[in-house]
Amino acid sequence: MPIYDAPTKDMQFVLHDVLDVSAQDIPGYEDLDREFTDAILGEAGKIAMEVMQPLNATGDEEGCVLENGVVRTPKGFKEAFDQVREGGWTALDCDPEYGGQGLPYVMSTAVGEMFSSANMAFNMYQGLTHGAYNAIHAHGSEQQKATYLPKMVSCEWGGTMNLTEPHCGTDLGLIRTKAEPQEDGSFRISGQKIWISAGEHDMCDNIIHLVLAKIPGGPDGVKGISLFIVPKFLVNEDGSLGERNSLSCGGLEKKMGIHGNATCVMNYDGAVGYLIGEEHKGMRAMFTMMNEARLGVGLQGYAQGVVAYQNALGFAKDRLQGRDATGVKAPEKPADPIIVHPDVRRNLMDQKSFVEGARAFTFWGASLIDRSHKAGDDEAEAMISLLTPVIKGFLTDKGFETTVLAQQTLGGSGFTREWGLEQFVRDCRITMIYEGTNGIQSLDLVGRKLAQNGGKTVMAFFEMVKAFIKENEGNAALKADFLDPLKAASKDLQAAGMYFMQNGMKNPNAALSGSYDFMHLFGHVCLGLMWARMGKAALTALEGGASDTEFYETKLATGRYYMARQLPMTGTHLARIESGAEPVMALEAANF
């Protein structure tokens, strides 16, 4: 059976040695000293390991069942969900005005990684509720907030996002769901939505659906989309539950993974809905949900990599096959553990160096969100907006790759249900698709984010990398192993940006043909920067006489691996980008 071991120590390293959170000039961060964060992570780790992880394989095996319009979640899910809610874990970074604990987002991110590694399908129920909470919190009226948020913070009520319809996913301008205005100011919503995660289930008293729909007579395309609150049960003035709304789950999707989460077809049949914000401005409100949701999906991607790596490592230390080519390591045993073999190590180091880099990258991203939201810093806001498609696209692609590598470490055992690795692969696969496919992320990056603020933000990113290199150039222990490879990778990224500038105006396809490679190139530079910062933090700790020298030495060795063996990918990405549109666009559609 698979295990999960909450990586509290490594999270503490990122929060304190690397990000130095308690010294940051962000309201709320002053409380984040080592002891406080250790206490939270310690408790969260227990919930993850003791309550969530034991339900991961059984939830996958059993899945969700739809009977007479009711979705039954797997055995134990409801009891576990109650325990999580009652422990306050769904309210961590929510507004205290509505019962939240008001902790910084960086802390709910760290906790979220643990929960997601332990049981991704289970944690989607609260994750989607949190997304819906965010949209209502940012765009709802005071009355809407007072009515819905307290129960959503506590997850007594769940929340969903309803975007996709059978004929449209990415291109929301095509949606057909209608919202007919009523005399009392409400609307009647009619249409079908598909792939609605947690659309119907038995763990909450009510489910608050956020639904994109078109008000007749509005503009065509995305400019005519509005966002509505459509509760499963209408809410009376006193806050009690009233009538059942005319909406229903029309079916469950059979899918590759996340079987413990109900993916629903939702039918709205003149259901009562309430407009959020202004008419026809639904996309803006939806993007509030989506931006954070995309960070959350990036996190899911590498979090599956984390737990997959842990299980691969355990196997590699136990499994005896063959002998070390440089001399027997375990003469008392019939064979050496396979971790002695260089190719097994290559595989493990690829996994380890990615997940640790991804963790630092994501926590840094979360701190930028805190800086934006809590300190009102527009530059931080612009930076995280630029990085969001990279976090979503790169971390899910590489997270999936990591689960596949981990599965490979186990050989034949990796293909069996029993060892659990194949579930991590199947569950992780969706992260490359939902909240906008990774192809769409790369278009968002190249087509929109690069040009935001007239390119100032991407220039600020390059300046940040440059400043870090310059600041530390005198540090011989950093220079050759960390700074030089980072400089080379960053140069490749700038060359790619330059190629787009010089060619994209004449022919947009010259940029769009390279968007996916650009997203990966950018991701490698970000992880390179993170590893350079982690390398510096480790050296600083060692120079400061830290007692746990093995931890910091290991960190340095892992970083050196990433710089030596992963960063060279930037050259290939650049070569592909510079090959331009011609190879990609040469064929007529009919000749494929």
In the region spanning residues 169 to 188, those forming contacts with a second copy, defined by CB under 8 A, are 169-171, 173-174
CB of 39 vs a second copy, minimal distance in Å: 27
> What would the two tokens of residue 413 be?
């055992």
Instruction: Determine contact, residues 448/508, Cβ cutoff 8 Å.
Output: no
Query: Which string of DSSP letters, residue by residue, matches 181-198?
Result: E-TTS-EEEEEEEEEEET
| Segment interacting with a second copy (CB under 8 A) among 66-74, 96-104, 274-282, 430-438 | 430-438
- What count of other Cβ atoms lies within 10 Å of the Cβ of residue 79? 12
CB of 439 vs a second copy, minimal distance in Å: 4
* Residue in the structure block whose two tokens are 């608050």: 208
The answer to whether residue 90 forms part of the interface with a second copy (CB under 8 A) is: no
**3-class secondary-structure state, position 452:** helix
> What would the two tokens of residue 194 be?
């598909």
Find the binding residues for a second copy in span 437-476 (CB under 8 A): 437-439, 442-443
The answer to whether residue 589 forms part of the interface with a second copy (CB under 8 A) is: yes
Mark whether 435 is an active-site residue: yes
Close Cβ partners of 439 (under 8 Å, ≥ 6 residues apart): 515, 516
Distance CA 470, CA 483 (A): 9
Close Cβ partners of 563 (under 8 Å, ≥ 6 residues apart): 481, 482, 485, 486, 528, 531, 532
| Segment interacting with a second copy (CB under 8 A) among 19-27, 47-55, 163-171, 227-235 | 163-171
User: What angle, rounded to 10 degrees, do the helices at 342-375 and 515-543 form?
Assistant: 90
The answer to whether residue 216 forms part of the interface with a second copy (CB under 8 A) is: no
Which of 158/414 has CB closer to a second copy?
414
Which of 94/175 has CB closer to a second copy?
175
Find the binding residues for a second copy in span 312-371 (CB under 8 A): 313, 316-317, 320-322, 325-326, 334-335, 337, 339-349, 352
Which of 4, 274, 434, 499 is the binder for a second copy (CB under 8 A)?
434
Which of 180, 253, 279, 381 is the binder for a second copy (CB under 8 A)?
253
Find the binding residues for a second copy in span 544-573 (CB under 8 A): 550, 553-554, 557-558, 560-561, 564-565, 568-569, 571-572
**3-class secondary-structure state, position 241:** strand
**Which residue type, as a one-letter code, is found at position 341?**
H
Which of 67/592 has CB closer to a second copy?
592
The answer to whether residue 192 forms part of the interface with a second copy (CB under 8 A) is: no
Which of 46/346 has CB closer to a second copy?
346
Query: Mapped to the 3 state alphabet, what secondary structure does 353-414 carry?
Result: HHHHHHHHHHHHHHHHHHHHHHHCCHHHHHHHHHHHHHHHHHHHHHHHHHHHHHHHHCCHHH
Instruction: Determine contact, residues 244/232, Cβ cutoff 8 Å.
Output: yes
Of the listed 113, 165, 292, 435, which one is catalytic?
435
Sign of CA dihedral 6, 339, 404, 573: positive
Which of 455/583 has CB closer to a second copy?
583
Count of residues binding a second copy (CB under 8 A)? 94
Distance CA 162, CA 232 (A): 13
- The DSSP symbol for 522 reads H
Distance CA 570, CA 303 (A): 24
x/- mask, a second copy, residues 391-410, rule CB under 8 A, reads: ---------x---x--xx--
Instruction: Determine contact, residues 225/187, Cβ cutoff 8 Å.
Output: no
| Segment interacting with a second copy (CB under 8 A) among 48-56, 139-147, 291-299, 574-582 | 574-582
Which of 106/124 has CB closer to a second copy?
124
> What would the two tokens of residue 573 be?
């990405």
CB of 372 vs a second copy, minimal distance in Å: 29
CB of 574 vs a second copy, minimal distance in Å: 9
Which of 62/156 has CB closer to a second copy?
62
Which of 402, 513, 525, 531 is the binder for a second copy (CB under 8 A)?
513
Tell me which H or E stretch contains 160.
strand 157-162
- What count of other Cβ atoms lies within 10 Å of the Cβ of residue 586? 8
Q: Give the residue among 370, 326, 324 at the shortest CA–CA distance from 344.
A: 324
The answer to whether residue 477 forms part of the interface with a second copy (CB under 8 A) is: no
Which of 165/370 has CB closer to a second copy?
165
Find the binding residues for a second copy in span 480-509 (CB under 8 A): 507-509
CB of 334 vs a second copy, minimal distance in Å: 6
| Segment interacting with a second copy (CB under 8 A) among 88-96, 238-246, 297-305, 433-441 | 433-441
Q: Give the residue among 158, 147, 159, 156 at the shortest CA–CA distance from 85.
A: 156
CB of 559 vs a second copy, minimal distance in Å: 10
Close Cβ partners of 96 (under 8 Å, ≥ 6 residues apart): 102
CB of 453 vs a second copy, minimal distance in Å: 22
Which of 213/340 has CB closer to a second copy?
340
Which of 122, 315, 516, 522 is the binder for a second copy (CB under 8 A)?
516
Distance CA 274, CA 144 (A): 9
Active-site positions read 435
